[in-house]
Every structure is written in structure tokens, then in C-alpha cells.
């Protein structure tokens, strides 16, 4: 694919366990003002569940999409602490992050539970950002591609090509998340190209060429442009640097429009 035929960039901010509903509204008002010039990228924000309703209202009339940071696979039942796909849809949330490494690391998420969450999200009409990535130990043990291939084949098992078209993949090397260490553009491109090849094996060339693959791991205003210039990097999933609207806007506006 030639660079000119690249997919439209998609940049999402993952706020993790930060911001109340009131802080969310303040942030979105500020970001909306900054985005008036309308950079040519798709933008999403993933606040905590408690701020989703306020976020959807604050973002109305803008192009900012609101995402959940997780979603459960059942619609209702005795599942204390979980949030159902239909509950998100009822708030007009259209997107959910699934399989973030912090969920895998601290909350026992596996490729199998990721798979169930993706299927339930898609069935309910939510799109999904699916996070994958290797740990430092796996990279140093030269297992990166094996890990990515396994996360993709197990996490996306049983999905149709129509399902595939509704996914975004976030490649987030675990050693780069919140550490200030970023994969070099070449390192990230190599992983993204490999992921795209795996998508082609599971789905087909058309799906593989359409799916946006975000890079995540200490993305900042000063490294966003060189990462995004890589042919298979179609955007970013941003944690720490998405918490301030002016800093996040610099990333969204990486082309300096
Ligand atoms: C993330 O949480 O997905 C992430 C990439 O975090 P950070 O940008 O802070 O490394």
C-alpha cells in the first residue's frame, strides 16, 4: 500500500483510573475548542465508566467518540463489578477497549476472555480496540512475533471478516507502557507489518488493509509524527499524554495542521 493510500489515522486516549465526571466535562470542552480547526484524524477518549455518560453529552456536536475501557461478555446476571455491552450502548457509547495489558497483568484477562469480550461487544453493536503486545522478557527472549501471533489467533478466533472490519488493533509493547520508553519507529513498524500479515491469514487482504493498527506505549507530542509516518502505523492509543487536552491535541495534530 502506498503511503498516500494510508488509512485515516485514529488516535484514542485511554484515561485509565483518572478523572471524575466533572473533570471529564472540563477536559472535553477544552479539547473541542482546540479541535475547531479539525485535524484529519478520528479521535476517541476512554474515560472511566463513571464518567461515560457525562463524556457522551460533553462530546455531542463534535467528532470525538467516547469509548469504554472494558466490556463484559454477558448482558446481565450475578457478575459483580462488570459492565454489559447493552449498558454501554444505552449511553450511546459505540466503542470499547478490550484486552489492555493492565487488564491482562493485574486482573487475570486471557486471550480467551478477550475473545469473549470482543464477540459480545460486536454482537451488541460496539466496535472494539483490541490490545496486544509482548512483555520485556518476551522481547528479550525473541518471542515477540510468536506472542503476537498467538494473541491474535486466540483473541480473534471465530470472528467473521465483517467482524474484522469493525476492529482496531492496538499494538502496545508492555515494556513501553507508562515507562517513557518508546519502541523505535522501525521496531514498531516491523511489529505492525507482522500483525497485518496475521490479519490477512485470519481474514483476507481486504480486511488486513482496512484495519487500523494503533501504536501504544509512551506516545508523546515529540514522537507521534515519526511513529505515524510508518506505513503500517495508523494512529495511537495514548495513556499518560492523553490526560491534558493541550498535550493530547498536539498528538492529534501531529501533522501540524
Ligand atoms: C496505554 O495505556 O494504553 C498506554 C499506551 O499508556 P502510555 O501512553 O502512558 O504509555
Choose one of 238, 242, 251 to mutate for the ligand 1 pocket test, by most ligand atoms within 8 angstroms of C-beta: 238
In order of 16, 173, 239, the CA distances from 179 in angstroms are 15, 11, 11
Q: Could you identify the atom of ligand 1 that is nearest to the CA of residue 102?
A: 2
Measured distance CA(109)–CA(101) in Å, rounded? 8
Measured distance CA(211)–CA(164) in Å, rounded? 7
Tell the CATH topology of 10-32+42-252: TIM Barrel (3.20.20)
Which protein residue has the closest C-alpha to ligand 1 atom 8?
A: 239
Residue holding cell 495534530? 253
Q: Please name the residues in contact with 222: beta carbons below 8 A apart, sequence gap of 6 or more.
A: none
Measured distance CA(215)–CA(220) in Å, rounded? 12
Tell me what pLDDT residue 257 has.
Answer: 58
Strand pairing of 10-14 and 235-238? parallel
Which protein residue has the closest C-alpha to ligand 1 atom 4?
A: 239
Domain ranges (residues) in the chain:
10-32+42-252
26-67: pLDDT as tens digits:
999 999 999 987 678 999 999 999 999 999 999 999 999 999
217 C-alpha to ligand 1 centroid (Å): 5
240 C-alpha to ligand 1 centroid (Å): 6
Q: Which residues are catalytic?
A: 100, 172
Which protein residue has the closest C-alpha to ligand 1 atom 3?
A: 239
Measured distance CA(247)–CA(191) in Å, rounded? 26
Q: 46: helix, coil or strand?
A: strand
Q: Could you identify the atom of ligand 1 that is nearest to the CA of residue 241?
A: 8
93-151: pLDDT as tens digits:
999 999 999 999 999 999 999 999 999 999 999 999 999 999 999 999 999 999 999 99
Choose one of 215, 216, 233 to mutate for the ligand 1 pocket test, by most ligand atoms within 8 angstroms of C-beta: 216
CB count within 10 Å of CB 139 equals 19
72 C-alpha to ligand 1 centroid (Å): 22
Total-model pTM:
0.96
- Cα-Cα-Cα-Cα dihedral sign, residues 122, 108, 111, 8: positive
Tell me what pLDDT residue 181 has.
Answer: 85
How many Cα atoms are found within 13 Å in the side-chain-facing hemisphere of 202? 27
Q: Which residues form the pocket of ligand 1, taking CB atoms under 6 Å from any ligand atom?
A: 14, 172, 177-178, 216-219, 237-241
pLDDT of 218 above 50: yes
Tell me what pLDDT residue 3 has.
Answer: 43
Instruction: Categorize the per-residue pLDDT at 5 as very low, low, confident or very high, splitting at 50, 70 and 90.
Output: low
Which protein residue has the closest C-alpha to ligand 1 atom 2?
A: 239
DSSP tag of 79: -
30 C-alpha to ligand 1 centroid (Å): 21
Choose one of 69, 102, 109, 240 to mutate for the ligand 1 pocket test, by most ligand atoms within 8 angstroms of C-beta: 240
Q: In 3D, which of 185, 197, 178 has the Cα closest to residue 233? A: 185
In order of 68, 71, 213, 255, the CA distances from 97 in angstroms are 6, 8, 13, 25
Measured distance CA(221)–CA(21) in Å, rounded? 26
Please, what is the end-to-end C-alpha distance for the chain in angstroms? 24
Tell me what pLDDT residue 2 has.
Answer: 45
Amino acid at each position: 500500500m502506498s503511503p498516500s493510500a494510508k488509512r485515516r489515522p485514529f488516535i484514542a486516549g485511554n484515561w485509565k483510573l483518572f478523572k471524575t465526571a466533572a473533570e471529564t466535562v472540563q477536559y472535553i470542552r477544552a479539547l473541542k475548542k482546540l479541535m475547531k480547526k479539525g485535524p484529519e484524524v478520528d479521535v476517541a477518549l476512554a474515560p472511566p465508566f463513571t464518567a461515560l455518560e457525562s463524556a457522551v453529552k460533553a462530546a455531542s456536536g463534535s467528532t470525538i467518540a467516547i469509548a469504554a475501557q472494558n466490556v463484559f461478555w454477558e448482558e446481565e446476571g450475578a457478575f459483580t463489578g462488570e459492565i454489559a455491552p447493552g449498558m454501554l450502548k444505552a449511553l450511546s457509547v459505540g466503542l470499547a477497549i478490550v484486552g489492555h495489558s493492565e487488564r491482562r497483568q493485574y486482573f487475570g484477562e486471557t486471550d480467551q476472555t478477550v475473545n469473549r469480550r470482543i464477540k459480545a461487544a460486536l454482537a451488541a453493536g460496539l466496535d472494539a480496540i483490541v490490545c496486544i503486545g509482548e512483555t520485556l522478557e518476551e522481547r528479550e527472549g525473541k518471542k515477540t512475533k510468536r506472542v503476537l501471533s498467538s494473541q491474535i489467533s486466540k483473541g480473534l478466533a471465530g470472528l467473521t471478516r465483517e467482524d474484522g472490519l469493525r476492529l482496531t488493533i492496538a499494538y502496545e509493547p508492555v515494556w513501553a507502557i507508562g515507562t517513557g520508553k518508546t519502541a523505535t519507529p522501525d521496531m514498531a513498524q516491523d511489529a505492525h507489518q507482522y500483525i497485518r500479515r496475521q490479519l490477512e491469514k485470519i481474514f483476507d487482504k481486504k480486511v488486513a488493509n482496512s484495519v487500523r493498527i494503533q501504536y501504544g506505549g509512551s506516545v508523546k507530542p515529540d514522537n507521534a509524527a515519526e511513529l505515524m509516518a510508518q506505513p503500517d502505523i495508523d494512529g495511537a492509543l495514548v495513556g499518560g499524554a492523553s490526560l491534558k487536552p493541550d498535550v493530547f491535541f498536539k498528538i492529534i495534530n501531529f501533522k501540524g495542521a
